[in-house]
Structures are given as structure tokens and as C-alpha cells.
A = this chain, B = another copy of it.
């Protein structure tokens, strides 16, 4: 007999984390129920507003991200909507949404070190970046191919401040950004912002991709539906400029 603490189903009776599902439906907003599902307790009012904002900040970023692109391509091949959406979710990987997970892991580790050693934020930021550099790694969640100032980061951090959610992980993230700015500005992107905020909300870094995935699912549904209803099947969605550089034609 194995244990689960997520839910229990009996005839005419469905319990989710201790609550009757009929009590949740229409009374507790969906994203708050998501908080309940992963945390095991209801969010307070501030947490509730913050988690909704986090998920909304991941909904969509146009047609070019791997997740959206994969979903539209698979949709164009004539498959059910969930199959196409799932293809996009498969693209939530170490370099697409993964900065949330990796960033949160690093932040959580270094805030612990900071407390243990009574370092300042500036000291910690400096040591953290040196340590990463030594390993030949970069701090995830900074810089963006398109945005020099990610509008989602600004909005999320303002909200976190207003809701008094800002604690040491956000502060350390800002200290890292300040450190970068001394040489060459490398602004916090939306992944970096989410990594910091979920860490200040005491979420396990292993859930990092989950917030992104859930928000993005909404956008993927919209893209897949648009593809299915307005575009020709198997259309040429984009121009791949690939050149063959394999062996010259030969006999078997």
C-alpha cells in the first residue's frame, strides 16, 4: 500500500488536499488551488495574488519560443489538440524555462550560505558569480535575446514588493544584477524573476519549471487552436536555411 497526500476519491465524494472539490470549484480561484495542490495548504491573500501573477507571466511570448513552435508544428500535422499541446510542453527544457529551476536552486543554496556566514548581499553576489565562473557556468535568469528590460520582471518585482513577499532571494538577485551592471548590464529576465520570487515564497526549486509549464499551457492551447482553425495543414510555417554538408553522393 503506497501513500499519496494529493487526493482521495470515493463515490460522490472527491477530496483534494483535505478539501471537498465541490467547495473549491468556483470559490477558490484555480491558481490558488494550484498553490494548494503543490504546497498542501491554502495560500494567504498575498501568496494567492503572487502565484497568479507568476503563472500569468508565463502564458505566451509570441510564435518563436521552442514550446510554441513545437506545438504549432505538431498541430499542423493533424493530431488532437492535447497531443499538440503536449509537444510544446516537452520543449520546457533546461534552456527554455529551465533557468527558473536552476536559478532557484542556486539562489536557495547561496542565501543559506549567506546566512551561515553572515555575508552581505554584495559579498554573496560577488562570491556566487566567482564560484560559477570557476565552474565555467553562467548565472541563469539574466539577459534576454529580445528585451533589454523585460517588462514582466519589472511588473513581478513591483508586485512582490507591494505584497511584502520580497525577501532575501529577490534581494540577492538584485545584488547580482547590480554586480553585472558594474561591467556590462545584464538585466534579470522573467525566468530569473520567477526563480527569485518562488524562492522567497519557499517553493522547492524542483518545481521551477512547473509554474512556467502551467502558464504556458494556456498560451499553447490558444496557438494550437488558432493553427487548427485558421491555417492549412502541413503548411510551410517557416524558412529553414539548412545546407547539407554530409558526404558526397556515393554508391552502396
Contacts and interface: CB of A to CB of B under 8 A. Distances in A.
A169 interface: no
Contacts of A10: 146
B73 A82 contact: no
A149 interface: yes
A249 B66 contact: no
A232 to B, nearest CB: 9
Contact of A252 (B27, B152, B251): B27
Interface in A36-52: 37-38, 40, 42, 49-50, 52
A129 interface: no
A185 interface: no
A128 B69 CA distance: 38
Interface residues of A, number: 129
A185 to B, nearest CB: 13
Given A33-B59, A38-B222, A238-B238, A11 B213 contact: no
A93 B207 CA distance: 19
A134 interface: no
Interface string A5-31: 111111111111111111111111111
Given A53-B26, A159-B26, A87 B62 contact: no
13 contacts: A2-B241, A5-B226, A5-B247, A21-B59, A62-B242, A64-B236, A67-B77, A82-B97, A86-B86, A87-B87, A204-B225, A206-B229, A214-B218
